[in-house]
Structure 1
Amino acid sequence: MTKRFAFIDMGTNTFHLLITELDEKGQLRDLVKTKLPVRLGQGGISNGAIAPEAYERALKTLKDFRRQIDEYGVETVRAMATSMVRNASNGEDFVKDVFKETDIQVEVIGGEREAELIYYGVRAAGVLDEKTAMIMDIGGGSVEFILCNKQEIFWKRSFEIGAQRLMDQFFKQDPIAPESIEAEKLYLQQKLQPLTEAVARYKPTVLVGSSGTFDTLCDIDALSKGDTSRQQSIPPASVLPIEDFYKIYQDLLRKNHEERLAIPGMLEMRVDMIVLASIAVDFVLQQYNLQEIRVSSYALKEGVLYQML
């Protein structure tokens, strides 16, 4: 008996839909994997409410997701909302409206739970081993850090310092000004004090980037070497050499919006936020002296899937 599941991850920047099928042998097959730049946080994240245009975009996207879910005859639907919805003054109304218009019941999950589910997703991608790793998942609203290895989580925390928030605060001119880069790093140093203490205790050596920004960095890296394999399918686990990251990073800091958009592998929905996100990656690499970067294309929704199974 085959079973079909649908997972919706309603992020601050991107909405994801995954429809997957479990066959008699217990094999999983993805039927639909979509990500759309809904930008739920746009125009509202810094004053704590979902803006009317973003509200409409989200409802429209979820109606479309519902149509696809019905087309595939899915039995089980799980929809998760994260940072933007959990912090928005109109978050509850939004959840009610979603249910009213699409019959999708949204679970608003807390930061700790979000971090835990990301860990299960990343673990399923096969990027973790015996080494102590720092998973970093950069969302639009929050960034999750998990110190772990493939057996267990040692420490986890969600910080409300996502790329949309950083953008509203530090992206004053384009290309970004050196003083804005310094200001962002200083801000991260203050905000990430609990992480700094945990790092001193658990001593991670590997940075594991989870989906989003990190997938795009890997796409750019591969295409710069003439490798087009990621255009066909993105592997669950990848490696991003540190020197390659820094080559891309320096390039992102030098270029303006149009020039970044022209970089092969760049996604339009990440073209500005990737600047702020990459500064955060650089900060973490330097501050915590991490020796390598691995990337998991699995994150929250895969974590929910693997926990359910």
Structure 2
Amino acid sequence: MSKAVTVAGIDCGTNSIRLMVAQVDDAGMHVVVPRIMRVVRLGQGIDETHRFADEALERTYAACREFADVLGKHPVDALRFVATSATRDARNREDFENTVEQILGVRPDVIPGTEEARLSFLGATSVVDQQAGGVAKPPYVVVDLGGGSTEVVLGGEGDDADTVQAAFSMNIGSVRMSERHLHTDPPTQEEIAAATRDIDERITEAFRTVSAGTARTIIGVSGTVTTMTGLALGLSTYDKSAVDGARVSIDAVCDTDDRILRMSRADRAQYPVIHPGRIDVIGGGALVWTRVLRRIQEAAREQGHDIDSYMASEHGLLDGIVRDLAQRVRGGGEA
């Protein structure tokens, strides 16, 4: 038997930052501190400036100080701070890394898109049997739709459900598409068309690497996916237990995506399911989600089978960070 360890993971993305603390032993992962999420919009304006905005840094540092207080009450054997799309693009990222290290005592690990994809797949597939009641068919295609990038990962065949066959990280996401194309409130048809062309070009590039049409199950993770799932399910307020593991018709969510995309921000604000920090960018994320789902459907039909639904999951990159770190610590590897 391997020793039990307590580890913490921080997922610092383009729109939000999350913390989770868990104990991992031979029986699996036991959450000590359920995920804490703060919308900090670290990637504000970064698609245009390639620099972190001062106010975005301050919002992120405030969240880091909050996380430091939590970690002070829950000592851990190891902590990993993973930074993704926005940090990869920022020219002034060294200042950010230095300040985070001062606050939390660990330096951000700025991972490439391929590593982000692997960890997202690990997190999403780790609970797929419990979520789906054992009926989810491999291979799986996991889509992690973030603020700055979207990862498409294929795998899960054979004896090891965690095995990744192919992965690609696209530079499209809710914040990036909204800032790049959807400037009017509500967006114009011309803006939507331009964003759609941009998204489709990136998906075509991704599908040269990832044969998404061979998948039998689509698993969607991230705030955009879970938010749009909650709306498609008709929830009046966000309910994690209702969303996590839900099977949703692709037609139904695409109709919901289009409706939310074309709304004004004031109209979106009338839906409590949408976090206030996502109201201005959820339209861009919804459009990405629709195009990825439709393109996977088309690719599957070319392979001779139909996919008419997806599974939503609350378990993605953050779960993967925690599980991967615990495996390394328990195996005696470097934390």
TM-score (norm 2): 0.83
What is the Cα deviation at residue 234 of structure 1?
A: 5.9
Moved more, 237-246 or 274-283: 237-246
What is the Cα deviation at residue 27 of structure 1?
A: 5.2
What aligned pairs does 1:155-170 form with structure 2 within 5 A after superposition?
155-170=166-181
Query: Aligned pair in 2 of structure 1 residues 201, 260: CA closer, same or farther (>3 Å)?
Result: closer
Query: Aligned pair in 2 of structure 1 residues 22, 286: CA closer, same or farther (>3 Å)?
Result: closer
Query: Aligned pair in 2 of structure 1 residues 240, 47: CA closer, same or farther (>3 Å)?
Result: same
What aligned pairs does 1:288-307 form with structure 2 within 5 A after superposition?
288-289=296-297, 290-307=307-324
Determine the C-alpha separation between the residues in 1 that align with 2:59 and 2:212.
43
Equivalent position SS for 2:126: helix
- Could you say which residue in structure 1 is the equivalent of 2:142? 135
- Could you say which residue in structure 2 is the equivalent of 1:7? 9
Equivalent position SS for 1:284: helix
From 280, 283, 296, the counterpart of 2:291: 283
Determine the C-alpha separation between the residues in 2 that align with 1:65 and 1:200.
39
What aligned pairs does 1:10-25 form with structure 2 within 5 A after superposition?
10-22=12-24
CA contact (8 A) 2:175 2:285 kept: no
What aligned pairs does 1:1-309 form with structure 2 within 5 A after superposition?
3-22=5-24, 26=28, 28-126=30-128, 129-149=136-156, 151=161, 152-198=163-209, 203-222=214-233, 224=234, 231=239, 233=241, 236-289=244-297, 290-307=307-324, 308-309=326-327
What is the Cα deviation at residue 21 of structure 1?
A: 2.9
List gaps (5 residues or longer) in structure 1. Answer: none
CA contact (8 A) 1:199 1:288 kept: no
Query: Aligned pair in 2 of structure 1 residues 102, 179: CA closer, same or farther (>3 Å)?
Result: same
CA contact (8 A) 2:153 2:167 kept: yes
CA contact (8 A) 2:22 2:29 kept: no
Equivalent position SS for 1:192: helix
Aligned residues: 306
CA contact (8 A) 1:132 1:202 kept: no
Cα RMSD (Å) of the superposition? Answer: 2.4
List gaps (5 residues or longer) in structure 2. Answer: 298-306, 328-335
Listed one character per residue, the Cα deviations across residues 8-39 of structure 1 (whole Å, up to 9, x for unaligned) are: 10111000011123468555134232100011
Listed one character per residue, the Cα deviations across residues 130-169 of structure 1 (whole Å, up to 9, x for unaligned) are: 4333221111111111122353322101122222111111
What is the Cα deviation at residue 225 of structure 1?
A: 5.8
Query: Aligned pair in 2 of structure 1 residues 249, 232: CA closer, same or farther (>3 Å)?
Result: closer
Determine the C-alpha separation between the residues in 1 that align with 2:223 and 2:200.
22
What is the Cα deviation at residue 60 of structure 1?
A: 1.6
CA contact (8 A) 2:226 2:314 kept: yes
CA contact (8 A) 1:115 1:145 kept: yes
CA contact (8 A) 1:234 1:297 kept: no
Determine the C-alpha separation between the residues in 2 that align with 1:81 and 1:251.
32
The one-letter code of the counterpart of 2:143 is M
Determine the C-alpha separation between the residues in 1 that align with 2:199 and 2:10.
29
CA contact (8 A) 1:48 1:89 kept: yes
CA contact (8 A) 1:2 1:21 kept: yes
CA contact (8 A) 1:205 1:292 kept: no
TM-score (norm 1): 0.89
What is the Cα deviation at residue 254 of structure 1?
A: 3.5
- Could you say which residue in structure 1 is the equivalent of 2:302? none
What is the Cα deviation at residue 199 of structure 1?
A: 5.4
Query: Aligned pair in 2 of structure 1 residues 24, 303: CA closer, same or farther (>3 Å)?
Result: closer
The one-letter code of the counterpart of 2:22 is T
What is the Cα deviation at residue 235 of structure 1?
A: 6.1
CA contact (8 A) 2:258 2:287 kept: no
Query: Aligned pair in 2 of structure 1 residues 125, 270: CA closer, same or farther (>3 Å)?
Result: farther
